[in-house]
Amino acid sequence: MTFSDLISASVIRIRSRAPFFGALILFAKIEENLDIPTAATDGKKVYFNPKFLATLSPNELDGVMLHEVLHAALLHPIRCQKRLSRIWNWAADIVVNGMILDQGYFSL
């Protein structure tokens, strides 16, 4: 499957499983980026390395997609400001991963 096919399939799965998150994803601008190892967001766009994307199961892809979209939706990159970025990102990861777990994407 192509990058676009994988992203489209993930969006469809998320929209059918979690309509609120699906609505957020409809506004996400998603792009390929070979300069990052996995996935990232700058708060405006979500970036995926296509090689990383191809290694994920559908459930994992949906989880990573939600993870990055929620960072952007909650303005985490913008709100970091002058805080220690590594610590801020860990705290933000706890928030978004908790939201994803609550939706049943992964179990502990």
Task: Write the secondary structure of 44-90 as one string of H (helix), E (strand) and C (coil).
Answer: CEEEECHHHHCCCCHHHHHHHHHHHHHHHHCCHHHHCCCCCHHHHHH
The dihedral region occupied by 48, where left means phi > 0, alpha psi between -120 and 50, and beta the remainder, is: beta
* pLDDT recorded at residue 101: 87
* pLDDT recorded at residue 75: 75
* pLDDT recorded at residue 54: 94
Smallest CA-to-CA distance from 41 within 102, 103, 89 is with 89
pLDDT in tens, the chain (108 residues): 899 999 999 999 999 988 888 898 988 999 999 999 999 988 889 999 999 999 999 989 998 999 889 988 887 777 767 776 788 778 888 889 888 888 776 644
Q: What is the pTM of this model?
A: 0.83
Distance in angstroms (rounded) separating the CA atoms of residues 97 and 108: 11
* pLDDT recorded at residue 108: 43
Distance in angstroms (rounded) separating the CA atoms of residues 39 and 102: 22
